[in-house]
Amino acid sequence: MEDEGESILMEDNFYQLLNVSKTATVEEINSAYRRFSRMFHPDKHSTDPNKQKWAEQIFNKVKEAYEVLSDSHKRAIYDTLGKRGLEVEGWEIIFRTRTPRDIRDEYERLKREREERRLQQSANPRGTITLSINATDMFMKYYDEYEILEDTTVIPNIEVSGMTIQQSIDAPVTLRNTVTLSGNISTQNGIGSGSVNVCNRHLSSEKGWTEVECGIGNGPVLGFKIFRTMSRLMFINCGTVFQFTPRGIVPSLVSTMAMQLDAHSVGYLTYRAGGQSGSSMTSTYVRDSEKYHANTAVQLGNPHSFISFSLMRKLPHHEMKLRFALKFGTFGAIAEYGAEKKVSQNSSVSAAVMLGVPSGVMLKLKWTCSSQTIVVPIHLCEEVMPSPVFYATVVPLVSWMLLKKLVLDPITREKHERERQRSMEANFERLKEMQRQARATVELMRETYSRIRKDEEKKKGLVIIKALYGKLPSGETSHEINVEQTGDGVTPESPTAYSEVIDVTIPLQCLVRDSRLELLEASKSELPGFYDPSVGEDKHLTIQYMFHNNPHCCTVPDNQAVVLPRNNHRIKNRS
């Protein structure tokens, strides 16, 4: 944890340091370098040894950023690998390449190779547990003619009607051969079964693979599959299975052809023949974009034919997915709606309500953690009735809100605060150094600040009255600004603690050019004269300024771009 926190604090953002975008031209980088050189060059502060010492440190950082960003090769390495890439990995690449594009391509190739090796060395275990629950007695009771109604109990009868456990594990034998061992055990209404399968996948070439499978379950099983890429936009997958039963050999065949129709769409054509599921032909259209995932399928065959449609709405900012699906055919009709929520980096929960004729109402709960999945389908009613539909929809939603409010949110806040305190303790000396450096930077800026402010006041341009940066007070939408105080740099240093808000009036005024201030869409803590006063917390920047003798004020999140002046910042009611 200590190393991680230190790396976050010590990694310089060269673009933010010069206040230029990642697409900045060489001319814009030169202009920014000249502007900061006039501010921090050691020769300008030679009369004060203490100031000259700080000026050398700050000027060296600015010069380093300029030397990297003004050189196309170094800039390409920095964009791809960061600052550490310039010291080690980047120079290993640059000797073999000549252009920035080649550098990025080489890095992507090496990254893919490392990822492939990592995947080949991992066992990649996968497992699914399905627990089927019959809760139809909650909404609809059945009595036979021999039951005595007076003796019936009030408590509904809820039973586990079935359970299935599936598990598989991969074992890379060679670079081209991977053996997969899988097994499953299932029981339904007191009748159990199980099977064990072993298959070997051989990567024959870059365009395809073959797979041989054998297993024991309801008789021996022998299968063979082949995958082949026909072109850049098309592939074919064929497989056949022979199951040996007491009644004889039961063969089955599955063949799929897929073609990419455009950048977001893929079409599939699948043919199934033989086996216990009958024969069918299925045509599927899948469209996947940044916000939506749609799937449409049409199947003709025996014993069932159907048409299905599903739509998933992706909400990445909320780490959530909403899904709606319809399916109807010779078996009846099913409508499904539900939601999936990401709980942590590797786990998610989902709930879906399925309304079917003649299947009734079912609530399906699923929890996924890494490669393990637990599915709990709960059969609520054999008919579509308002009460089970209502409870199947409302109960999971209310349960999730209570769980999040009473359990998950407190755990997340506690973990976040614990990590923040640990990071603060681990980087205490580094934070003190950052604060001292910010204070020294502000002192070096005072002469430039006075000159720019006088020029802006003369032409009634952009004058920063007060600017505060840091964590907002609880329940507030902006920092409280005391208009009686003038911008005076960072807050006074405390030997034991840090203020969660710092004064950045002087650094912001020094960035004003021709009555205009532009800040990038990135954390402001990397700007000269800034530092992070509340590590790990959400920060905001509040600016009160004058433009054409009119007061303005705005508060923006830390990572949001800032462009001043703006008409909507104007304070209309001066009182």
Number of H helices, E strands in the chain: 12, 23
Number of domains in the chain: 2
My answer on whether 229 and 186 are in the same domain is: yes
Query: DSSP assignment, residue 408?
Result: I
pLDDT of residue 197: 93
Are residue 557 and residue 490 in the same domain, yes or no?
A: yes
Amino acid at 472: L
- From the list 525, 501, 521, the residue with the least C-alpha distance to 561 is 521
Last residue of a domain, one of 380, 411, 442: 411
Full strand arrangement of the beta sheet holding 463-470: 501-503, 463-470, 540-547, 550-557
Q: How many residues appear in the chain?
A: 575
CB 537 within 8 A of CB 480: no
The residues that bridge with 483 in the sheet, in sequence order, are none
Q: Convert 387-406 into a string of H (helix), E (strand) and C (coil).
A: HHHHHHHHHHHHHHHHHHHH
**43 within some domain:** yes
Tell me which residue of 455, 509, 517, 461 sits closest to 487, measured CA to CA. Answer: 509
- In eight-state DSSP terms, residue 155 is S
Tokens 């790396």 locate to 7
Outline where DSSP puts E strands in 455-564. Answer: 463-470, 501-503, 517-519, 540-547, 550-557, 562-564
Domain at 237, CATH number: 2.40.160.10
pLDDT of residue 370: 78
Query: Is the residue at 520 inside a domain?
Result: yes
Q: Which of 500, 504, 541 is nearest to 523 (CA)?
A: 541
Query: Which residues are bridge partners to 375 per DSSP?
Result: 130, 366
441 within some domain: yes
Per-residue pLDDT of the chain (575 residues; tens, 9 = 90+): 334 333 333 446 888 888 888 888 989 999 889 888 888 888 888 788 888 888 888 888 889 889 889 888 888 878 877 776 666 544 444 444 445 666 666 667 777 766 665 655 566 778 999 999 988 888 776 544 445 445 455 677 888 889 999 999 888 888 889 899 999 999 987 788 899 999 999 998 888 999 999 999 888 999 999 999 988 889 999 999 998 888 888 899 999 999 999 889 999 999 999 877 788 999 999 999 989 999 999 999 988 899 999 999 999 888 899 999 999 999 899 999 999 998 887 889 999 999 999 889 999 999 998 788 999 999 999 889 899 999 999 999 999 899 888 888 888 888 877 877 777 676 677 778 888 888 888 999 998 999 999 999 999 999 999 999 998 888 888 888 775 544 445 544 433 344 689 999 999 999 998 999 999 888 888 888 898 888 778 899 999 999 999 999 999 999 899 999 999 999 876 54
Whether 388 and 502 share a structural domain: no
Same domain for 442 and 358, yes or no, is: no
In terms of domains, do 451 and 338 share one? no
Structure tokens at 558: 């830390």
The answer to whether position 435 is within a domain reads: yes
Measuring CA to CA, which residue among 546, 547, 542 is closest to residue 560?
542
- The pair of structure tokens assigned to 13 is 């953002």
**Sequence-distant (≥ 6) Cβ neighbours of residue 32 within 8 angstroms:** 18, 19, 20, 24, 66
Domain boundary, last residue among 361, 379, 411:
411
Q: Pick from 544, 543, 537, 540: which is nearest to 557 by CA?
A: 540
pTM over 0.85: no
Is residue 177 within 8 Å of 201, Cβ to Cβ?
A: yes
Q: Is 216 part of a structural domain of the chain?
A: yes
User: Could you tell me if 278 and 391 lie in one domain?
Assistant: yes
Judge whether 440 lies within some domain.
yes
Q: Which amino acid is at 441?
A: T
The token duo for 41 is: 């060059």
In a domain, 454, yes or no: yes
Judgement on whether residues 402 and 431 belong to the same structural domain of the protein: no
Same domain, 161 and 278: yes
Residue 44's domain comprises 2-70+427-569
Residue 185 burial by CB count (10 A; 0-12/13-18/19+): exposed, middle or buried?
A: middle
Please say which residue of 385, 411, 437 terminates a domain.
411
Residue 145's CB is within 10 A of a number of other CB atoms, namely 4
Distance from the Cα of residue 469 to its chain's centroid: 27
Residue 525 covered by a domain:
yes
Distance CA 312, CA 22 (A): 34
Based on the fold, state whether residues 176 and 59 are members of the same structural domain. Answer: no
- Using the structure block, give the residue that is written with the tokens 């359990």: 407
3-class DSSP state of 496: coil
DSSP alpha helices (H): ranges in 72-148? Answer: 72-81, 83-87, 89-94, 100-121
pLDDT of res. 103: 61
Other Cβ atoms within 10 Å of 273 Cβ, number: 16
Nearest 5°: phi and psi at 80? -90, -45
Q: Kindly state whether residues 242 and 352 are assigned to the same domain.
A: yes
397 shares a domain with 456: no
